[in-house]
Structure 1
Amino acid sequence: MTATVHTLQANRAPSLEPMMALTTSGMNAVNAVILDRMQSKVALIPELAGHLIAGGGKRMRPMLTLASAALFDYPGTRHHKLAAAVEFIHTATLLHDDVVDGSGLRRGRRTANIIWGNPSSVLVGDFLFSRAFELMVEDGSLKVLKILSSASAIIAEGEVDQLTAQRRIDTDEDHYLQIIAAKTAALFAAACRIAPVVAEAGEEAEDALDTYGRNLGIAFQLVDDAIDYSSDSATMGKGVGDDFRDGKMTLPVILAYARGTDGDRDFWRSAISGDRVADEDLARAIDLVRSTGALADTLERARIYARRAVDSLGSFPAGKAKSAMIEAAEFAVARAY
C-alpha cells in the first residue's frame, strides 16, 4: 500500500460523532450481544458488569471494529460478536485496573471496587474475559482467536510492567512507551485488525489497520496521561492527580524530571516515592510539567502518533468510514484542549 500523507485539521473541533453515526446500527447489535452475554444466574455479575458498561463510555474500541469493517463494505454480522468481545476484554481490564490502582472514580462515577469490593470486581472481570473468549471461539476463526488472545496476553503484560515501574523514578521514555503500547495500544490494534480478517481483505489491509489502531491507541494514552496534569475531575472522569498520587511514571513526569533543576528532581523523587501527595504538591507538579514544556511535548508526541494513524489509511478509498476514522485520530488529540 502506498502511503498518502494527511494533515490533521487544526481549524475545527474534531469529534467522534461521524464514527458514532457510521456505526449506530452495528453498535445496536453489539450492545444486544453485550447485554445478553453479561447475564448470569448469579445476580451480582450482571449488576456489577452493568454498572461499568452503563457508565457512559463511548465504546471506542468496538466502534473501531465496526468502522474498520465499513472500510471494506463488509456485509456480514461476524464483527458484531467480535466487537462485543473487544468491549468485554476492555471492561474486564478496567475492573482489574481499578482494583490495582485503588481507584474511587471512573467516568465521574464510583468504581465497582468501591461499591462491591475488590474480590467481586476481580472475579466479575474474570467472568467478562471468559465471555470474550466464548465469543471468539463461536466465531470459528483461528486467526481472529490468535489476534484477540494475543492482545489479551499483551495487555496483562503491560499492566504488570506498569505496576513494576510504579514509583520508579528511573523509568525512561522508551520503557513508558513500551508499557502503553502493551496496556492500551494492543487492544486498539486488535480491534481494527480483526475487521479485514472477517472481510477477507488480505494481509496488507490487516497490517495497515493494525498500524492505525496501534498508533491511535498510543496517541490516546499520551493524551490521557497529559490530561491528568492539566484538567479537572469533570473533564477527566476520575480523581484529579490520580496518576501523580499513585506514583505512575507517565511521560509528562519523565520529561519534567529530566529537564528539572536539582531542587525539582528532589521534589519528583519524593513525590513519586509517595512522600509528597498533598494538594500543594500536585499543584507544584502541574506547574513543573507546564514550565518545563513537558506537557506541551507530550501532546506533540500524541499528535505525531495520530498523524501516523491517519497516514496508515492512505491507500483506502475515500468515504464515510475513512473520514470517520481520520476524525477519530484528530479527536484523540483534541480531547486535551
Structure 2
Amino acid sequence: MSTTRTSPAPATTSPVSSPERGTPTRHVDPTRRQQAIAAWILALPFMALFLVFTAGPVLASLGMSFTDMRSTDMRNPFAVEFVGLQNYLDLLADPLFRKVTVNTALYLVLGVPLTMAVALATAVGLNRITRLKGFFRVSFYLPVVTSIVAVSVVWKFLLRDEGGLVNTVIGWFGVDGPGWLDSTTTALPTLVVMAVWRNFGTLMVIFLAALQTVPRELLEAAETDGASGWSRFRYITVPMLRPVLLFGAVITSIGYLQFFEEAFVMTKGGPLDATKSITFFTYDQWGYGNYAVGSAAAYLLFVAIMLLTWLQFRLLREKD
C-alpha cells in the first residue's frame, strides 16, 4: 500500500495587515528616502545663501522702511525708532521724489513702445532675409552684451555739444545741433534713444524665434485669399505673438522702471534732475545715509512694478 505525499503549498507573501483596520501597511522604499535626504542636503547650501543674501536683506530693508534709521545709527541700533508710514508719506509729499517719478514715467512711456516697435520691425526684416542673417543677428545683439559703462561713455562723447560726432554730421547739412545732454528738453529723450539702441537686441531675438513658429500655411492661405502683407501681419502674425509680446512688455517695462546706469554715467541725473529716476533717487538716499527713506522709495517702486505687471497681464493676456 503506497502513501501519496502531498507537497506543501508554496508560501505566498501577503502584506502585513494593520491589527486595527485590516488594511495593508505601506512600506517606504529606503532608496526613495535616501534620495529625498540627498536632495535636501544638496539644496541646503543654496537655501542658506538665499536666506542670507536675498531674503534676509529684503525683509530687513522692508522693516527699515518703517523706521528712522540713518547711517549714524549703525553703531547704536537701539536708537532707531519706529515711525510707521511716515517715510512713505514724506516721499509722496517730496517735490524731488515727484519729479523723479514723472521722469521714470516718461522713460516708461517713451522707451517701452519704441523698444518693442524697433525690435519687432527688425525681427520681421531678419525673418524675411536669407543671406547674412547670422551676421545681422550678432550685430544687433552686440550692444546688449557690451559693458553699459563703456557704451554710455562712448555715447556721451558722440553727443557732446562741441566736437561730438552727431552735431558734426548734422552740421554738414547746415543744422546747428543742440546740447543733447545739457538741455532739460532733450536730455531725457536722448537717453531713451540710447537705451532703445542698447536693449532692443534682446527682444529682437525673442520675437525672431516666435515669428518662425507662425504656420506658413495660414499666411499662404491668407495671401491666396487676397490679404495684403499688412493685413496678414495684423490679423495673423500679431495675434499669434500675443504671449511673446506680453513677455516682452513686462521685462522691458521693468527695465525702464529701474532705469539707472545710463543716467548715472552720462548726465549724473542732470541737468536740474531732468534725467534722475526713482532708482537714481534711491541710490542717492542710500549714499546720503538715509537708509529708511531709500528703503521706502525702493518699495514704492516695487509696488509700481507689481501694479504695472498686473495691468499688462490683464490687457495683453490671451482671451478665453
Instruction: Establish whether TM, by shorter chain, passes 0.5.
Output: no
Question: Which structure has the bigger radius of gyration?
Answer: 2
Q: Calculate the TM-score normalised by the size of structure 2.
A: 0.30
